[in-house]
Amino acid sequence: MKSLENYWKYINDALNQKLQAGDFDEPKGLYEPCKYILQNGGKRVRASLVLLASKMFSNSYEQALPVALAFETFHNFTLIHDDIMDKAPLRRGIPTVHTKWDENTAILSGDAVMIIAYKFFEESGKYVPQLFRLLNKTALEVCEGQQYDVDLEVANLQDPIVSEETYLRMIELKTSVLIAACLKAGAIVGGASDNDADKLYEIGKMIGIAFQLQDDVLDTFGNEATFGKKIGGDIRVNKKTYLLIKALQTPQSTDKEQLIKLMSSTEFDEKTKYDHVVALYNKAHVKEQSIEKIEEYFQQAMRLVDEIQLPDERKGELIAFMNELVNRNY
Amino acid sequence: MKSLENYWKYINDALNQKLQAGDFDEPKGLYEPCKYILQNGGKRVRASLVLLASKMFSNSYEQALPVALAFETFHNFTLIHDDIMDKAPLRRGIPTVHTKWDENTAILSGDAVMIIAYKFFEESGKYVPQLFRLLNKTALEVCEGQQYDVDLEVANLQDPIVSEETYLRMIELKTSVLIAACLKAGAIVGGASDNDADKLYEIGKMIGIAFQLQDDVLDTFGNEATFGKKIGGDIRVNKKTYLLIKALQTPQSTDKEQLIKLMSSTEFDEKTKYDHVVALYNKAHVKEQSIEKIEEYFQQAMRLVDEIQLPDERKGELIAFMNELVNRNY
């Protein structure tokens, strides 16, 4: 992300330094996989958001660095364990931990990465108790989100759990609360008032949900060249996206039946299935409904940005990030 | 354990109350396995030790309860994930989490149990930062111990890693540091001086190692009726125990060769193998050497108990526990 680019190198350098300081060397069988995932990049969105939020309230962001590394590290813990559960062979273009090593190694190293995340928090001085509670709450919510994701995945399409409400709750927990916590934590160590810190939390939640909804739209309606991966993946694997859940609310029972049939099987020809499903999505106007919903969350977040007790120039970076997020086609 | 019996019901009641307070209800797929392991007992040794240590320095132990529950919960997290790695079907006589549910559920619920452990710490008031650091350090060491255990398990018997040094380091990290941290944390919230709290940490480490060494002795030389499980399990599965590692140090190269042959295969008849291995153990006097080592750790711990700045009557419960531990035949 262009709006976060400035932080990227700073975060990577600091993380590398921490990991090479000697605390995480032996046994190699434990720590090499930890370093492998932590040093193999990603966009560092979460750490950047901590720094960005901190800089809104303070002239520097160094004080937020341990917290930024903690949240980034926590995020990587979730990736290691999620990848085992999803049996994902690749992450960021390279083999996942359980593929490069094995499942047991990935379980144990994932545990260690979570503890390392907590450890990075130790350096936050007087803010430790408050941040500690925030991380605990968030971490447990992320686990809850992952479980709702599993529950949705295994449910058949007529199960009442497959609802807009559960879906939004799932992405809120699985993705948004971590974004929210990053912004709030950055604000806290930047010296924000409780009120402003809470506002940043809500902003994070809104943009996190908007981001995820947008992902669903792009996966089906995006442009392959800009999106960077094959369009239609969600339809191919029968993923219960926002689009599908909205389309299932259609009053046309024949359309609903067709959709259930198409999205409950992997037997259909990929191209034919995609075309059929998209036709039904179009008929139900789910793309438009999704974009409307995204816009709603975005506007809600923007109103909250307005309410933050800071001069406008201090909000520029956050607004740039939000605009970039909502206008992305990748 | 008789010396800890008084704490058992108190801990169970408190834990049940916490788990039923409504914080850990939904999604059920996540929290039912968490409650299953946390409420299905065990001896609550770790939680009891927190309370016991706290009571040494204070007239009550209620203040130590959140810490006690935190450490007990952390211990149960390690059990869930270790049981997956060991493919263990049973724990405390009932199916393990990954057997009753599945591996993915056990990974995610294990993660949640670890976070719940951290959450229980939140209620420790002014001690939060200090206890937080202690738990982080200990938690990471327990992961290191588990990795050394894996490294030892997969190594062949001639690998230099199969040494007394690595073995002692492994049990120190995998078992003892948690016992040590429990005693130290209890002391801290009981109001002990740093010096006394550190002494309790060292005592915990010594008795933790002694306990594990004794486990090795009992598994091979114990009495089935009092030990409560079949004797010879370690020999049957070629476990690299202290006994085996000591026996491999024998100067008789023919004995060593025989031992390597016997303990590298699962082809031998169980009874014949046991008899042969025990004969070689006896020839190398490893039982006596182990008992000597246990006694050494025990005496070292006792000397530290002496040094604690408390009247003798305040140490009675700890000494009773230690005596019970070292004299056990179960």
B177 to chain A, closest Cα gap in Å: 16
Closest CA to B109 of B136, B76, B68, B87: B76
Say yes or no for a CB contact (<8 Å) between B108 and A144: no
Say yes or no for a CB contact (<8 Å) between A118 and B129: no
User: Quick check: A155 contacting B, CB < 8 Å?
Assistant: no
Closest-approach residue (CA) in chain A for B118: A136
Pair of tokens at residue A12: 């990577």
Cα angle B264-B265-B269, degrees, rounded to a multiple of 5: 135
User: Quick check: B120 contacting A, CB < 8 Å?
Assistant: no
pLDDT score at A215 = 92
Closest partner residue to B114 among A114, A119, A129, by Cβ? A114
A122 to chain B, closest Cα gap in Å: 7
User: Quick check: B102 contacting A, CB < 8 Å?
Assistant: no
pLDDT score at A221 = 95
Across chain B, the runs of DSSP E, i.e. the strands, are 90-91, 94-95
Closest partner residue to A119 among B107, B111, B136, by Cβ? B136
Closest CA to A120 of B133, B131, B126, B117: B133
User: Quick check: B260 contacting A, CB < 8 Å?
Assistant: no
Say yes or no for a CB contact (<8 Å) between B115 and A140: yes
A159 to chain B, closest Cα gap in Å: 16
Q: Which residues of B touch A116 (CB under 8 A)?
A: 140
| Residue A137 phi, psi (nearest 5) | -60, -50
Predicted confidence band at A328 (pLDDT cuts at 50, 70, 90)? confident
Q: Which residues of A touch B26 (CB under 8 A)?
A: 144
Say yes or no for a CB contact (<8 Å) between B108 and A26: no
Question: Is A181's pLDDT higher than 90?
Answer: yes
Q: Which residues of B touch A97 (CB under 8 A)?
A: none
Closest partner residue to A143 among B85, B103, B115, by Cβ? B115
| pLDDT per residue as tens digits for the range B250-259 | 878 889 999 9
pLDDT score at B227 = 77
Domain boundaries for CATH 1.10.600.10 within chain B: 1-191, 193-330
Closest partner residue to B143 among A111, A133, A148, by Cβ? A111
Say yes or no for a CB contact (<8 Å) between B132 and A118: yes
Say yes or no for a CB contact (<8 Å) between B81 and A108: yes
Question: Is A14's pLDDT higher than 90?
Answer: yes
User: Quick check: A146 contacting B, CB < 8 Å?
Assistant: yes
Test mutation, A144, A167, A177, chain B, max B CBs within 10 A: A144
Say yes or no for a CB contact (<8 Å) between B129 and A129: yes
Q: B93: alpha, beta or left, given left = phi > 0 and alpha = psi -120 to 50?
A: left
User: Quick check: B81 contacting A, CB < 8 Å?
Assistant: yes
Closest-approach residue (CA) in chain A for B141: A112
Question: Is A67's pLDDT higher than 90?
Answer: yes
Give the homologous superfamily in CATH for domain B193-330. Answer: Farnesyl Diphosphate Synthase (1.10.600.10)
What DSSP letter does each residue of A97-137 carry, written as one string?
A: HHHHS-HHHHHHHHHHHHHHHHHHHTTSGGGHHHHHHHHHH
| pLDDT per residue as tens digits for the range A265-317 | 989 999 999 999 999 999 999 999 999 999 999 999 999 999 999 999 999 99
Q: List, as ranges, residues 30-59 from B with C-beta within 8 Å of A.
A: 30
User: Quick check: A27 contacting B, CB < 8 Å?
Assistant: yes
pLDDT score at B328 = 79
SS3 A311: coil
Say yes or no for a CB contact (<8 Å) between B29 and A151: yes
Q: Which residues contact A177 (CB under 8 A, 6 or more apart)?
A: A138, A141, A142, A145, A205, A208
Give, in words, the CATH class of A1-191. Answer: mainly alpha
Closest CA to B114 of B70, B55, B158: B70
User: Quick check: B148 contacting A, CB < 8 Å?
Assistant: yes
Q: What is the rounded average pLDDT of the residues A112-128?
A: 94
Size of the A and B interface in Cβ pairs below 8 Å: 108
User: Quick check: A278 contacting B, CB < 8 Å?
Assistant: no
A106 to chain B, closest Cα gap in Å: 10
SS3 B112: helix
Tens-of-pLDDT digits for all 330 residues of chain B? 788 888 999 999 999 999 999 999 999 999 999 999 999 878 999 999 999 999 999 999 999 999 999 999 999 999 999 999 999 999 988 999 999 999 999 999 999 999 999 999 999 889 999 999 999 999 999 999 999 999 999 999 999 999 999 999 999 999 999 999 999 999 999 999 999 999 999 999 999 999 999 999 999 999 888 877 789 999 999 999 999 999 999 878 889 999 999 999 989 999 999 999 999 999 999 999 999 999 999 999 999 999 999 999 999 999 999 999 888 777
Cβ contact B185:B52 at 8 Å: no
Q: Find the farthest-apart pair of alpha carbons in chain B and give their distance in angstroms, rounded.
A: 63
